[in-house]
Amino acid sequence: MKKISLLAPMLFLGLLSCSENKPTIQNINTMTAADTLSMVEVLDPEAEKLVSKDSKAEILGEGFVWSEGPCWIKDQQKLIFSDAPQNTIFSWTAKDSIQVYLKPSGYTSAVPRGGEVGSNGLIINKNGKLVLCQHGDRRIAEMQAALDQPKPEFKTLADKFDGKRFSSPNDVFADSKGNYYFTDPPYGLEKQEKDSTKETKVEGVYRILPDGKVELLVDSLTRPNGIIVSNDGTKLYLANSDPAKAIWAVYDLDKDGKLSNGRIFMDATKNAATEKGLPDGLCMNSKGYIFATGPGGVWIFNPAGKHIATIKTKVATSNVELDDTESYLYITAHMYLIRMKLVK
């Protein structure tokens, strides 16, 4: 693995373009050959422990502006996911298909503004509450209502560091100790890094401690995006959504939450030049395999860090989530919600 320069230059990324027209949301109850968005490219036979080379993803819904932040609610057997441009969280269940779950999801002010104002990354914390990355309100927030009775009532967990407002928190991960790790690129600001309201000088990676204190962990990535902590709590993985430096980075994480030995986990910059999408959301299964959205679709890495397969999609792919039994991989991909059946 290559060492990451902690003095990496700032390289700015234009937001992935998406339609400004209001979409017509469609529920997809059957899959036909024409509906298929994916194929599996197997690079190592080990991958077939997870996904069949003949598998095709099902389209569960389409017509979103930019689907993001899938989050599985075990007790309800429900997936929720963000559409940031629509300021809405949608839900999907096998029974009810696509429904509006929460609106507004990321911007609660009555003052009109541009940019991608809705929620992005979503997680369920150890107290069973929904935690949201809110672009428009520029904060990490906790929904105060119950998961089965969602309401746009939020408590701020963090919205500033050193007195300066975050730009637009993008993705978040909660560890077993009650810490929240999150990324803060400028995608939700109307003019992104050139926006007059941007207060921070860096595109930061932060941690919220259980007592509410906020720490800056990484300030050298150009577009930090997806974030997870390994199952054993010893590594922090980050996606950098910059076409000029399209990488996944990994850091060693000690018991006190301090990072060291930052290095490139995988460099996909060459792939980003020819395939749709950039390193974005990621998740890890119970055996340590990583599913990471990137150029061309979803990259699958084994626990040793080897790239063993790619779920190739025809559109830019933003994020992934597993259900509680790890039977399905749910994928948000541009205007679609899709899922892939996994090998059990």
* Average pLDDT, integer, range 14-38: 46
pLDDT at position 36 is 66
Structure confidence by residue, pLDDT tens digits, 63-80: 999 999 999 999 999 999
**Rounded distance between C-alpha atoms, residue 240 and residue 102, angstroms:** 28
Listed range (95-99, 113-117, 274-278) with the worst mean pLDDT: 113-117
**Rounded distance between C-alpha atoms, residue 90 and residue 103, angstroms:** 9
Please say whether the beta carbons of 225 and 241 come within 8 A. yes
pLDDT at position 332 is 98
Which of the pair, 300 or 194, is modelled with greater confidence? 300
Structure confidence by residue, pLDDT tens digits, 81-91: 999 999 999 99
Which of the pair, 190 or 247, is modelled with greater confidence? 247
* Average pLDDT, integer, range 114-119: 93
Listed range (20-24, 101-105, 244-248) with the worst mean pLDDT: 20-24
* Average pLDDT, integer, range 49-67: 94
Nearest to 7, CA basis, from 219, 292, 230: 219
Structure confidence by residue, pLDDT tens digits, 225-248: 999 999 999 999 999 999 999 999
pLDDT band, very low/low/confident/very high, at 17 (cuts 50, 70, 90): very low
pLDDT band, very low/low/confident/very high, at 24 (cuts 50, 70, 90): low
pLDDT for residue 12 is more than 50:
no
DSSP notation for 153-202: -EEEEE-EETTEE-S----EEE-TTS-EEEEE-STTSTTGGG-TT---SS
Structure confidence by residue, pLDDT tens digits, 123-161: 999 999 999 999 999 999 999 999 999 999 999 999 999
**Backbone Cα Rg of the chain:** 18
Structure confidence by residue, pLDDT tens digits, 201-231: 999 999 999 999 999 999 999 999 999 999 9
pLDDT averaged over every residue in the chain = 90
Structure confidence by residue, pLDDT tens digits, 157-179: 999 999 999 999 999 999 989 99
Nearest to 72, CA basis, from 329, 336, 333: 329
Q: Is the dihedral of CA 125, 290, 17, 68 positive or negative?
A: negative
Beta bridge partners of 181: 173, 207
Structure confidence by residue, pLDDT tens digits, 285-296: 999 999 999 999
pLDDT at position 26 is 58
Q: How many CB atoms lie within 10 A of CB 171?
A: 28
pLDDT band, very low/low/confident/very high, at 16 (cuts 50, 70, 90): very low
pLDDT for residue 9 is more than 50:
no
pLDDT for residue 6 is more than 90:
no
- Residues of the chain above pLDDT 70, percent: 90
